[in-house]
Amino acid sequence: MKKFVPLLFILVAAASATAQTRAPAPAAPPANPTPAPSSPLDGQWRGTSDGGSCNAPLEYDITIESGFVDGSAYDTTARGPVPNPNKSAPPAPGPGLWQIHGMAKIGGAFNLLSVASVKGTEHRRVQLTARSDGGGLVVTENGGCRRTARLARG
């Protein structure tokens, strides 16, 4: 028993020495993180397009934050299903909502992707071109109805 007590004392001392030499805790993050770089185009942009060849104007609502573009455009003339007393095939519905994404460039035109929210297997995409024009933003469809919208900061 007398040999066991000194051995136990050595083990306890070694364990406490190991516990005292642990690595220090990681440093706390800075109080004020560096903000993402801003762009002169940053902000909310809203406006209405002309009807284009489809005679269906779109209401645009776009947000640009640190150059990232995210928004939507919707057709105010789009209507839901209606009764069909003739029992004929109904006309194909046009897309009522478009999702818009891309990266804004300063000092020139930049491309945006617009994807329609449609039902079924149909998938519609339209390439948009946007450019700064004075205090506004001009968005033009490169295909489809070829609508042009003038957006103002909102």
* pLDDT bucket at 18, cuts 50 / 70 / 90: low
* pLDDT value, residue 69: 95
Helix (H) or strand (E) holding 4: helix 4-20
* pLDDT bucket at 85, cuts 50 / 70 / 90: confident
Q: Is the pLDDT at 1 greater than 60, yes or no?
A: no
- Concatenate the DSSP letters of all residues of 30-87 into one string: PSSPPPPPP-TT-EEEEEEB--GGGT--EEEEEEEETTEEEEEEEETT-------TT-
Q: Which residues pair with 150 in a beta bridge?
A: 138
Cβ neighbour number for residue 24 with a 10 Å cutoff: 5
Instruction: Give the span between the Cα atoms of 8 and 5, in whole angstroms.
Output: 5
Q: Is the pLDDT at 5 greater than 70, yes or no?
A: no
* pLDDT bucket at 26, cuts 50 / 70 / 90: confident
pTM: 0.67
CA 78, chain centre distance (Å): 24
More confident residue, 1 or 115: 115
Mean pLDDT, residues 66-84:
81
Q: Is the pLDDT at 32 greater than 90, yes or no?
A: no
The tokens describing 101, both together, are: 């994404």
